[in-house]
Structures are given as structure tokens and as C-alpha cells.
Amino acid sequence: MDKLNSLFLVGVLLIGLPTLAHAQGETPEDFVRADVEARTVTLQGLETQLAALQQGADLEAQTQLAEDNRQAVEAAFNRYGVSSAVHTVYGTQESEAIAVWLQDHPEWQQQYDDLTARLTTLSGQIDVLRGGN
């Protein structure tokens, strides 16, 4: 798993460890739709953070933008009736069912691939602007 996805999953787990109950009624399709929306929101947040860095944002502003994005991602999951932590647990427990669903719906796999490429590029640009930190 690449660095960005690992960091995303760790952050998601830390957000809601107390709510690790299994999401009732969640399906692989629900999981993928919520995950794509959360990644899209993450991407938008990274774009905002990149623009702020390019304009010389200080650490406090960067931290606030990251927190705003974390909250927006959590809100995206909430729209699907799950927390980010519950979503992650479901994804781990049902990874095979999700993989089968994605094989049957290649357009969603393509969205994943596209988002991953864009997230990786933005993450790299942000790392460069932060001096490789």
C-alpha cells in the first residue's frame, strides 16, 4: 500500500476508534460510493492546501486546512450513515466482497485509479513545498 493510502487509513482509524461497530446494512457498493466521495473530498482539501502553501501559508493555516478537510471527509462518510472508522473496519472485513464488486463494476475501479493518481501527485507536490517533510 502506498504512503498516501496508508496515511489516509491511519487517519481514518484514529478519527473514530470508539465507534468500531459494524455498519448495519452496508454493502460493497455502499462502501465504494462512500470511499470515492471521501477520496474526492480529500483531493479537494489537498488542492486547497497546495494552493495555500504556494501562497506561503504558515503552519497554523496549514493545520487548520488539514483539520477542515478531516471534518469534511468525516461528513462525507456520515452522509452514508457510517463513521470513517466503521467504514474502514467494513473495508477490512469485507475486502474480498469489495474486490469482487469492483471487478464487476470496472468504471468504479477506474475512478479509484484516477483518484489515487491525483492524490499521489498532489501529496508529492505538497511534500516538496514543505521541504520533503
Which H, E and C letters describe 94-118, residue by residue? CHHHHHHHHHHCHHHHHHHHHHHHH
Residues 10-37: pLDDT tens digits? 455 444 443 344 445 689 999 999 999 9
In the structure, what pLDDT confidence band is assigned to residue 8 with cuts at 50, 70 and 90? Answer: low
Residues 54-90: pLDDT tens digits? 999 999 999 999 999 999 999 999 999 999 999 999 9
Question: According to the model, what pLDDT value does residue 26 have?
Answer: 83
Question: According to the model, what pLDDT value does residue 1 have?
Answer: 47
Q: List Cβ neighbours of 115 (8 Å cut-off, separation of 6 or more).
A: 36, 39, 40, 43
